[in-house]
Structure 1
Amino acid sequence: MRALPVLQLFFLATLAATTHGSFELDIADQIIHLLRPKTRSGDSHVDDNVSCLSWRLGVETHNIIDWTTVPAACEGYAGDYLLGHQYRKDSEVVAHEAYLYAESLNLTDDGNNLWIFDIDETSLSNLPYFADHGFGVEVLNTTSYGAWMLEGIAPALPESLKLYKKLLALGIKVAFLTGRGESIRNVTETNLMNAGYDSWEKLILKDSSYSGDTAVMYKSSERKKLEGSGYKIIGNIGDQWSDLLGTNVGNRTFKLPNPMYYAS
């Protein structure tokens, strides 16, 4: 059996020794994809004036919008971030704050309290695919990405799975709202369950009638339907700003990091 690189061994040992209060996870749950040795350390640059770290900050704060791909000079930086420690730490902070918020609420146990989860790069992680094929939105528009999705083997983002279980324990129901097409409902259901999401109130996939709408319009419309049927959206978590903007977004929203692609 091939020995693990030193970086991987160090990463696993660090995880085993580190605790994060109520968000401590088993080592097996911590790993989305085996780490690659980093190709560079520190920051890298798009040009002499714009750093990749600053570019990622602009993306996450929604100051940089409508971008079509990771800048070529920053693809290695994006890969290092996503396969390294910081992506997981950033995701953990978001999920932990979401749980603290939910735990603080004085909710009426009427069965109508609902939390919205996006799926890709929120509930499920496509990082194994991107690690093998590159980082950037153009990778999504390929036959290989469609084939990967149909395999239904995307692992859970561990921090989101932990949040999901904590919310259920608080009596909050979960609805998955995704831009995935209705045609892959069975694959999506099976993938979610195999990844650990074993129950939900609603699983909303995109019908072909929404093909001309933006993600903001589509998700706003579906959230409006949920509230119209009596649900109270108390929380909403996603990796894209289009998951969290528009109407009927819920009492509070939480943005997970994603410097791989942008969906409007």
Structure 2
Amino acid sequence: KVLVFFVATILVAWQCHAYDMFPLRMNTGYGARTPEVKCASWRLAVEAHNIFGFETIPEECVEATKEYIHGEQYRSDSKTVNQQAYFYARDLEVHPKDTFVFSIDGTVLSNIPYYKKHGYGVEKFNSTLYDEWVNKGNAPALPETLKNYNKLVSLGFKIIFLSGRTLDKQAVTEANLKKAGYHTWEKLILKDPQDPSTPNAVSYKTAAREKLIRQGYNIVGIIGDQWSDLLGGHRGESRTFKLPNPCTTFSSSFTSQQSSLLPIYLYVIRCVQIGALASLYVVSAVCQQVM
């Protein structure tokens, strides 16, 4: 019995410790550093929303991120997503209030010039520096999104820009959009920083879509580079299209506190499961001794 209990205890300790060796965990976000994880795998897991809540990309992935952005793959990925949005749209029967909702930063306007000067995502996001860059109004268009935008306009869809930018940036945002080639839109919705009812991006964009639906708009498509652009309710009859974001992804579906506690929940559940299994081993051994 003592031997069985000893073995079971070792099993519990090993299984709980094994959580620290989960192979997709790295030295940022939710993980310890593991050299076998490749940067392409990290990026895929982030885009699929399997890794989230991190503040920077892994330091060892800076060069890979630069190569991804300035090579052919980033544009190819963006093209594929936008093409799928267009293929979906062209098969729809367009009605007067059918609408595509676009995010702005990282979706229609590129923020790569900003991240190029700030480590391609290895530096923590600085909202003050980012606002200074936004206020210059020089963000270029993401070329594949601009192509898709023009096609959707020609099909007769209404275009609504829904951004986390604040109301004080309306003039510079309108000017930047036109400068980049986005010549017409139905609405430009920016965030009121004084509104306490929408504390995070998901709740803000959900509330904005709810208002659009009440106004009679039929949201048939949502295009964004952040999961917070796509999650939440009041999406109408839409399909969602996630564009690549190689430099940063903000936590969206969880609050920061919930995100930081999620691994602990999983850890505790795993240990309880293994502990219960070990107890069964001990009970089984005792029963065999009695019999």
Q: TM-score range by the shorter chain?
A: 0.7 to 0.9
- TM (norm. structure 1) is 0.79
Say which one has the larger Rg. 2
**Residue of structure 1 in register with 2:161 after alignment:** 176
Matched residues in 1 for 2:109 and 2:143: separation?
Answer: 9
**Residue of structure 2 in register with 1:4 after alignment:** none
Residues 138 and 227 (structure 1 numbering): CA distance in 2 closer, same or farther, change over 3 Å?
Answer: farther
Question: Is the Cα contact below 8 Å between 1:210 and 1:218 reproduced in 2?
Answer: no
TM superposition shift of 1:83:
1.6
Task: Within 5 Å, give how 1:39-78 maps onto structure 2.
Answer: 47-78=34-65
**Residue of structure 1 in register with 2:171 after alignment:** 186
In the alignment, which of 224, 233, 236 is matched to residue 238 of structure 1? 224
Amino acid in structure 2 at the alignment position of 1:260: C
**Residue of structure 2 in register with 1:208 after alignment:** 193
Matched position secondary structure for 2:194: helix
Tell me whether 1:98 sits opposite 2:66 in the alignment.
no
TM superposition shift of 1:48:
2.0
**Residue of structure 1 in register with 2:148 after alignment:** 163
Q: Percent identity?
A: 51
Matched residues in 1 for 2:49 and 2:195: separation?
Answer: 24
Task: Within 5 Å, give how 1:25-40 maps onto structure 2.
Answer: none
Matched residues in 2 for 1:241 and 1:224: separation?
Answer: 18
* CA deviation map 1:162-181 (0-9, x unaligned): 11110110110000000011
Amino acid in structure 2 at the alignment position of 1:52: C
Question: Is the Cα contact below 8 Å between 2:230 and 2:240 reproduced in 1?
Answer: yes
Matched residues in 2 for 1:191 and 1:133: separation?
Answer: 21
**Residue of structure 2 in register with 1:153 after alignment:** 138
In the alignment, which of 51, 70, 78 is matched to residue 83 of structure 1? 70
Matched residues in 1 for 2:125 and 2:199: separation?
Answer: 18
Matched position secondary structure for 1:152: coil
RMSD of Structure 2 on Structure 1 (CA): 1.5
- TM (norm. structure 2) is 0.72
Unaligned runs of 5+ in 1: 1-45
Matched residues in 2 for 1:138 and 1:221: separation?
Answer: 31
Amino acid in structure 1 at the alignment position of 2:219: I
Unaligned runs of 5+ in 2: 1-32, 253-291
Which structure has the highest helix share of the two?
A: 2
Matched residues in 1 for 2:195 and 2:59: separation?
Answer: 32
Matched residues in 2 for 1:152 and 1:86: separation?
Answer: 27
TM superposition shift of 1:208:
1.1
Amino acid in structure 2 at the alignment position of 1:244: L
